[in-house]
Copies of this chain bind each other. A is one copy, B any other.
């Protein structure tokens, strides 16, 4: 199991319609084969500067690689993520 997470902040104003639409449209990622336990999260610690997080799990690295290369993922990154996300950090975990 690989847990892929990304913590991020949007360029949009907080609680704006654009923010809500980005989060809603990001659910397209659930449709990509191999995505398990997809979660959309609000980041609430005052000790960092991010507002949201996505978390998902893949059975193995090959499934993760296929997700990254999937046309729906590529289209989301190019069409929505890059234009609308202000800052982000990816953190990926496996069991210790």
Contacts and interface: CB of A to CB of B under 8 A. Distances in A.
Q: How big is chain A's contact interface, by range?
A: 20 to 34
Copies of this chain assembled into the complex: 2
Contacts of A92: 43-45
Contact of A94 (B23, B42, B93): B42
Q: Main secondary structure on chain A at its contact with chain B? A: strand
A42 to B, nearest CB: 5
Interface of A: 2-3, 7, 23, 39-45, 47-48, 50, 52-53, 55, 89-96
Given A43-B93, A44-B93, 10 more contacts: A3-B41, A41-B93, A42-B94, A42-B96, A43-B91, A45-B90, A45-B91, A45-B92, A47-B90, A53-B93
